[in-house]
Structures are given as C-alpha cells and as structure tokens.
Structure 1
Amino acid sequence: MTTWVSSWCSSLLPHPKDVWVGGLIGFTCSSCVGVCLSTKIIEVPKNAFALLHADAAFNCTVSLPWRIIIWLMDTIPILTIVPDGPIITDSRFHQRNYTTKRTFTSELIISPVTMRENMTVRCSLQTEEYQQAFLFVQVDGPLFFVKEISSVVENRATDIVCKAEGWNPVPTIRWKKNRTVVDSKMYTTTIEQSSDNLYNTISTLNLTLSANAEIMCLADIEALPQPKTAALFITVKSPSEDQTWLIIAIVVPIAAAILLIILIIVIIICIKRRKHHETSYRNELKRMSTKKPFKITTDGVENLGMSTGSVNDLQRSPSLTSPYWINTWSGEKNNDTVEAPTIPAVDYGIQKETPNQPMDFSSSPRKTRHVTAV
C-alpha cells in the first residue's frame, strides 16, 4: 500500500525541466504530498552572518524518503529540490546535497549577498511543517590608528586612538597589550553614523608604559571569521632622553640662525672690499693714463705720451747736460726751453728743421712726430 501511494505521489511531481510547472503543482498539491510523505525536518537551518558581496549558506536536513524541498526568502520561492536534482530559477541561488542512509541534507548557497537580503530564509516540505532562519548581511571597513606612535616617555600617560571606519553593524572594539586583553575601563569608545547607513567607531586607550610594548586594536562583527587587527610597537624612553631631544630641537635652529647671520655678514664685507679694491685700481689706472712722459735723446725724440698736467710732470732727458726743461705750452725760448739738435733733411717725408729753431710740442697727445737722427 505504501509503495503504491509513493508511486502515485511521484507521478504527480513535475519533471525538473518544467520549472514553473513544478512550482505551481508543488504549491497546489501540498496537501496530497503531505499525505503521501512522512518526511520530517531533522536539522533546521541556523542564522547566518555574511559579509557584503560574500556567500551565505543554510542547511536543512530531512528524513527519508523525501520528494520535494522548497527554499523561500520570506514568502518567495527561490529554489526547488526534487530527487532528480535542483530546479534553478536564479543563478545566484544553488545548492549542494549530502545523503546518508537515513537523511538527506540540502545546503542552500546564496552568492553573492546584498544588503537587500537581510531577511528570513525558510526550508519547506510543502506541508505545514517548515523551519526558518535569518540572514544578516554585514559590512566591514578599514581599521587603523589615527596617529602612529613609535615611542613614549616612561611613566607618562599617552592616548592611543584606533578607528573602525564604515562598518555595519557597529563593531566591538577591544585592546591588547603584549597579547593580554586590556581592561575595558582603560579605554572609551564613541560611535558616529554616516549618511550611507554605516558607522564609524573611535576607541581611545589611555596607557602608561614603563617598558616597551606591543599594542593591538581589534574590531569584530559576527560575519568575520577572525577579528580585524591593527598593531603598534611602542618603545619607552627615559625623561632625560626626552629632555635631550628637546634641547637639541631648540639649540639646533638657533645655531643655524646664528651661522646664517655670520655668513651674511662675511659676504657683505667681502663685497665691500672687492668694490673698494676695484675703485682703487680704476683710480690708479686713470692717474697713470694722465701721466705719460717723453724724453729726447741724441738719436731722436721718443714720445712716451704728453701730459696734461703741470710742467713738473715732464721728465728730464738723461742725454741733456743742461738742466733745462721743455716748455710744451709756449714756443718762446727761455730758461725752461731747450733747443733741439739740427737734424739733416733726408727722404723720410720730413721737412728740414731751421737751425737753432726750438721745437714746439703741442700739448695734445693725439698728433706726435717721431724724429730719428742719422
């Protein structure tokens, strides 16, 4: 009798390819299937916590024999399983199955989950018996220290701030010192909600260290297999070291400023000396250019340039025995005038000079005659 009823009930089930037909017949014939089968749900689905864009899984174990299992989210069927295999209507929903001698386990896999799927998941045998669980989709964000601290002063209180940014739900923050859990009375936690329905959690640990230590900040939500961590290794220095660095930090800028001032003064002095030296050199060149003497020898007149200064600027020729000077401003013969020697006229394009005629040299150095005695 039981065999005949089971065969008749199986004939009512749809072929796996007829997806929508199978769903329709399954819903309309629930009472008939309930009569045909004595299947019971042995292991019910359990609540699941899944990270956003990750996978979520639910297990439903039933007794043998079984003919149909339907998975629903809230009241909407998403996956139907029959002995021939699953009837998939959405690629995001699929299943794995595990069979023993007495049970059959269907594992519903949702891949990936979205925030819209925070809802009830139900395992139904198309009878009045069903079991349900809840899917919680959660978001984890970065975890970091607001300020990286590498060293602190011995026995001086220091605040270490850890931030979990963009989480949902609010994560649980804990602290560890050298792998040992820190008492919750030593830190405070504040929560801020952002516009995208996420939360920022800031935890501040007030710590006084007497030796080097490793400090860890841990953030945890149910969907994480392990808490997220951020770690710092802090070295402890003595107060004298801290004062030494303070003194160095003060003295070094002052010394640098003094050296810079001295350098600027030296540069200014060097520039002034250089300008003074250039001015003296130019004055000397100018003075020498205005005092260019000439002398008369027995071989002729050697013009070394005319002076625009006084008569005393002219040099006495060493070839003249008479202590006379040449007057370059007047053609008159006086005690300051010496007669030039008679020079025979030769074919040098130079006119013959009249005997005993004094030589008159113009005061301008731009016209010069050179006479050579032969």
Structure 2
Amino acid sequence: MVAVTTHLVLFSLSLGVCLSTTIIAGPKDAFVLLNADAAFNCTVSVPWSVIIWLMDSRPILTVVGEGPIITDPQFGQQNYSTETTFTSELIISSVTMKENMTVRCSIQTDGYKEAFLFVQVDGPLYFEKMISSVVVNHATDVVCKAEGWNPAPTISWKNNGTMVDSKMYNTTTQQSSENLYNTISILNLTLSANAKIICLAEIKALPQPKSAELSITVKPFLTFTAGMDQTWLIIAIVVPIVVAILLIILIIVIVICIRRRKQDETSYQNELKKMSMKKPFETTADGVENMGMSTESVYDLQYPSGLTSPYWINTWSEDKSSNILETPTIPADYREVQRKTQNEPTKFPWYPQKTRHVTAV
C-alpha cells in the first residue's frame, strides 16, 4: 500500500509540472479553543495534480485526484469542487497548546500559501463579591475576575445594556503559570437606580464574549441609616450588660481573696497562741518566772518541788473589817533552797518572754 501511494504521489508531481495550476486562495489564520477542532481551506485552479499540507515544514496530509492520503488520524480532509476550482479543507482534531504553529498549503507549480494556528484557552469568569444592593448615589467597586486564560482576555462592561466608558474601570493582568493568565477588572459605580451590570471577557477563539451578570438594587440612604441605627442600638444594650457582669465577677473574686487572707491571718495567730500556752515556768533567784502564762486556769502554774502549797496566797484575818494582810509562815526547808540558789545565774529561755510573774519573799 505504501508503495502504491508513493507511486501516485510521484505521478501527480510529474503531471503537475506539465499543467499550469495556481493557488487561488490560501489558508487563513485560525484561532481555536483548546481541545476543539481547527480547519484550514486551500483553493486551487483546475486542473490540479497534488496538494500537500504541512505543519512547520512537516508533511501531515497529501491530497491527490483519487483522494487524501492519511497517515495520522488527527488530520482529516474534505473537498469542494467547481468547474474551475478545487478546495481542500484540512481538519485538525482536538488541538493542543503544542500545535501553535504554521500551517502550509503547497502545490508543485505555484509554491505554497501559509497561515498560523493559534490555540487559546478560556477560563472561568466571575464576580469577586456578589453585590445585591447599594446606597443611592454612593460609589461602589464591582470586581470581575477571569482566571486561567490564554491569552489574557479583553475585559469590558455593560450597564443596563450600554457599554461603560473604559475610564470607569481599571484592568490588570498577571501570569499564573507558563501558559495561563489571570485578569482582574474593577468597575467604579455610582448608581441612582437599579442596574443590570455585565462583565465581558473576549478572546478571538470565542465566537461570542463570555459574560457574568449582576443585578444591583439601589436603596435610599434612610433605609441603610435605620439599619445602622438598629445595629448601634443593639451594641448600646449589649455592651453595658457585659461590662456589668464582668464587674460583678471581679467584685466576687476580690471578696473571696480578702476572706481567704483573713482566715490565713487568724490561723497564724491561733498557732502562735497555742505555742505560747505550752511554755513552762522556771524558778529563778527572785522567785517563779512564768515563761508562757496560760489564760485558761490558775491551776496551770508550776511550783518548785520543795513547795507543797502556794505559800504566797494572801490570807485575811478573821476580823474582816480590819482588812489586814497577814504574811504566811515560810518553811525552813524553802529558806535553805532560796539561800543556795541566790548565787546561781538566772536562767533565760531562748525564746522571747511573754509574761513574767515574780513572787518576792
């Protein structure tokens, strides 16, 4: 089969040398969306012998009188004939970005005609924020975004079907990847009545511009003022309540802290009191010294071992009217003890003295 095809091509080429064939209309530039089909037409005069289609100088399809010679299923051909002309239509299926290249129609006697295939990408078009209402005669920005396009689209606006002056909006483009671009357009509006706003994005591969639509209702200023007043009223009610609750909580915490502090101080004083009650008496040269007098009972006092009874207790005479204090008789054995202890040093405890009670003889 390949041998037969080769012979047909060679025969057609040799025949074309003897015939005067010209290219009446060559292919035109084509702008095609990614993954769509592209078509190119080449019209030649009759008689013709062979038409060869090339992409960047690489043959992809050959057309002879018997029909096309197809070597790649991505490339196909249709033809249209008249009495004086023959038109070959090259069809490229599911184009990709790598097929942005030159397409050439060539005949043996009249050279070639070429065009360029532009593969383009359209992405989503949307409003950054869906605005439903605005204040009358109040300036508002409407943001329209086109993401993932190639090339960057041309953005335009319509207000109630009328094209908006380009001075009313600002458009910027940034490259998001190797072959794609993001475009942002900001329209500044000051509306006095309800409006239907349309954002349009256009590239040559689209038969019609892609659009995004937004309906905006214009409301009186008083309506918005009433809404703001209601909001401030709610704030004015809620904030004092919250502050009062926080203040009450703070007061409760302070009272609890003060009570705990007083309880700690009382406990500390009680401990000191218990310690002072446990301190014993000591006998000194001058008499009995109380190092920790008990406040509970007079019977808590400790006496020297030589004394069998509190000799220093005041006794009154039977004649109560005289009110004469009688001194009790001191035992002899206690006088001996007193004489021996006069030359001994006085004993002082290592802790501070609380109460000192001395009985003089």
Q: Which structure 1 segments of 5+ residues have no match?
A: 1-16, 263-374
Q: 1:24 to 1:234 in 2, by over 3 A?
A: farther
Q: Contact conserved, 2:22 with 2:110, CA < 8 A, in 1? A: no
Q: How does 1:1-374 map to 2 (within 5 A)?
A: 17-18=1-2, 22=5, 26=9, 30=13, 32-252=14-234, 255=237
The TM-score normalised by the length of structure 2 is: 0.63
Q: Is the 8 A contact 1:191 1:199 kept in 2?
A: yes
Per-residue CA deviation, residues 144-164 of structure 1 (Å, 9 max, x unaligned), is 001110011000111101011
Structure 1 consecutive aligned stretches of length 4 or more whose deviation exceeds 4 Å:
27-30, 253-262
Which residue in 2 is equivalent to 1:289? none
Give the secondary structure class of the aligned counterpart of 1:126.
coil
What SS class does the counterpart of residue 197 from structure 2 fall into? strand
- 8 Å Cα contact 1:23/1:80 also seen in 2: no
- In the other structure, the counterpart of 2:272 is none
Structure 2, unmatched stretches of 5+, are: 245-361
Q: Residue 33 of structure 2 contacts residue 120 of structure 2 at CA under 8 Å; is this kept in 1?
A: yes
* Counterpart secondary structure, 1:247: helix
CA distance in 2 between counterparts of 1:239 and 1:143 reads 32
Q: Counterpart of 1:50 in structure 2: which amino acid?
A: V
Distance 2:119 2:104 in 1: 17
C-alpha distance in structure 2 between counterparts of 1:152 and 1:24, whole Å: 76
Task: State the alpha-carbon separation in 2 of the partners of residues 128 and 67 from structure 1.
Answer: 12
The CA distance in 1 between the partners of 2:6 and 2:204, in whole Å, is 35
Q: Secondary structure at the match of 2:217?
A: strand
Residue-pair matches, total: 246
Matching residue's letter, 2:199: C
Deviation at 1:62, TM superposition (A): 1.0
| Preserved contact between residue 76 and residue 90 of structure 2 (Cα < 8 Å) | yes
What fraction of aligned residue pairs are identical, expressed as a percent? 63
Change (3 A) 1:50 1:201: same
CA distance in 2, matches of 1:153, 1:76: 63
1:37 Cα deviation from its structure 2 partner = 2.1
CA distance in 2, matches of 1:179, 1:23: 60
Three-state SS of the structure 1 residue aligned to 2:167 is helix
- Asked whether the equivalents of residues 26 and 126 of structure 1 are also in contact (C-alpha less than 8 Å), the reply is no
- CA separation of 1:212 and 1:27: change in aligned 2, threshold 3 A: farther
Structure-2 separation of matches of 1:233 and 1:93: 46
Amino acid aligned to 2:187: L
2:290 alignment partner in structure 1: none
Q: Is 252-261 or 81-90 further displaced after alignment?
A: 252-261
Check conservation: 1:163, 1:203, Cα contact below 8 A. yes
How far the C-alpha of 1:195 sits from its partner, in A, is 2.4
Instruction: Name the aligned partner's letter for residue 121 of structure 1.
Output: V
**Distance of 1:137 and 1:227 partners within structure 2:** 17
Return the offset for 1:35.
Answer: 1.9
Q: CA offsets per residue over residues 214-246 of structure 1, 9 Å max, x none?
A: 000000000000000001000001111111111
Aligned-partner residue type, residue 73 of structure 1: M
Distance 1:250 1:23 in 2: 88
| CA distances 1:314-360 after superposition (whole Å, capped 9, x unpaired) | xxxxxxxxxxxxxxxxxxxxxxxxxxxxxxxxxxxxxxxxxxxxxxx
Q: CA RMSD in A?
A: 2.4
Letter in 1 for 2:90: L
Partner residue, 1:281:
none
Name the TM-score, length of structure 1 as normaliser.
0.61
Q: Distance in 1 between matches of 2:104 and 2:5?
A: 18
Tell whether the 8 Å contact from 2:141 to 2:187 is kept in structure 1 after alignment. Answer: yes
Q: What SS is found at the alignment partner of 1:101? A: coil
Q: Secondary structure at 2:225's aligned position in 1?
A: helix
- Deviation of 1:260 after TM superposition, in Å, equals 9.6
Partner in structure 2 of residue 312 of structure 1: none
Output the CA distance in 1 between the equivalents of 2:130 and 2:104. Answer: 48
Is the CA contact (8 Å cut-off) linking 2:17 and 2:108 kept in structure 1? no
Q: Give the conservation status (yes or no) of the 8 Å contact 1:55–1:113.
A: yes
Cα pair 1:33 1:127 within 8 Å, conserved: no
For the 8 Å contact 2:21–2:110, the answer to whether it is kept is no
Q: Shift of the alpha carbon at 1:40?
A: 1.2
Partner of 2:308: none
Q: CA deviation at 1:26?
A: 3.8
CA distance in 2, matches of 1:24, 1:117: 30
Deviations 1:50-71 (A, max 9, x none): 0010010000111111221110
Q: How far 1:258 sits from its partner (Å)?
A: 8.0
Write the distance in 2 (CA, Å) between the matches of 1:125 and 1:63: 11
Deviations 1:5-44 (A, max 9, x none): xxxxxxxxxxxx43x76458747984x3442221111111
